[in-house]
Amino acid sequence: MPVTTVHQYIDMYPVRHTDTKMIVGTIHPHLHNEFLIPFFYGNVGSFWRILNNAFPRHDLINLENITTMLEDNNVWITDIIRQCDRETEMITQDSLLYNIIYNEDQIRDGLLNSQIDTIYFTSRFSRNNAAKLFTQVFGIDYNVTFNPETSEFVIPENVFGREIRCVVLYSPSNDANRGIVRSHAYLNNQHLYVHHPTPVMQFKIDFYRDKFQFLN
């Protein structure tokens, strides 16, 4: 049976004028009540697990530690989707979301009223992924500056009043692993992980460690 998912967290964590970095995802699964942590990426084995492995000193295993890390490092976290429909409550794939209502106004106001100079997208350019929807909503042609080697592009000054560096992360979802193993970045470094018990996970941990260096 179709269900409507209304975002539970974006209005609880508004931007701060001191924020300099921003994390943008899509929307949480419908069954958010099953999360171990009542927060963005609160389900098991997701974004926080990767960051915790990359930066264990932050101990990102509970809500208090996560929000403290975000506040201490001037990071705003939000999502590009405010509401959407799914054919069943079990569907989690971004590509299957429809009747999407975007979080456009809050994000625009947040960027205009903060010092954010770097945005991290937690999924890439496939259908309904975070970077894909964000660039569509705000009319940004990411192809002009996207560098596949660094997985980054630049939002020009005319969009939000300043240039903003954009980092397109590999999705924390296990569903993304099939695409990652075919990516140039993984194939070029595959030799580093051939003997690792979870090579794709370790690749993601190393990638996040490189991109979130301010957490060192």
Q: What is the DSSP letter of 163?
A: -
pLDDT at 106 over 80: yes
161: which 2 tokens? 């009043």
Distances (CA, A) of 143 to 10, 23, 153: 28, 20, 8
| Orientation of helix 47-54 relative to helix 199-211, angle to 10° | 70
Contacts of 21 (CB under 8 A, 6+ apart): 73, 74, 75, 76, 116, 117, 118, 119, 120, 214
**Domain residues of the chain, as ranges?**
3-174
| pLDDT of 44 above 70 | no
pLDDT for res 45: 60
Give the pLDDT mean for 30-39.
91
Contact 197, 163 (CB under 8 A): no
The yes-or-no verdict on residue 64 having pLDDT over 90 is yes
For residue 102, report the phi and psi dihedrals to the nearest 5 degrees.
Answer: -85, 155
- CA nearest to 208, candidates 170, 181, 173: 170
User: CATH 3.40.470.10: does it fit domain 3-174?
Assistant: yes
Percent of the chain scoring above 70 in pLDDT:
99
**CA–CA distances in Å: residue 193 to residues 81, 134, 146, 171, 188:** 34, 32, 26, 18, 11
What is the model's pLDDT at position 46? Answer: 84
Q: How far apart are CA 170 and CA 148, in angstroms?
A: 12
> pLDDT tens-digit profile of 124-173?
999 999 999 999 999 999 999 999 989 999 999 999 999 999 999 999 98
Mean pLDDT over each residue of the chain, to the nearest integer? 95
Question: Which residue is it, tokens 């927060």?
Answer: 39
**Which strands form 152-155's sheet, in the order they lie side by side?**
75-79, 21-25, 118-121, 164-168, 152-155
Question: How far from each other are the two terminal CA atoms of the chain, in whole angstroms?
Answer: 45
Residue with token string 């075919």: 182
Output the pTM of the full model. Answer: 0.96
pLDDT the model gives residue 176 = 84
The answer to whether the CB of 203 falls within 8 A of the CB of 172 is: no
pLDDT for residue 173: 86
Instruction: State the pLDDT confidence band at 201, using cuts at 50, 70 and 90.
Output: very high
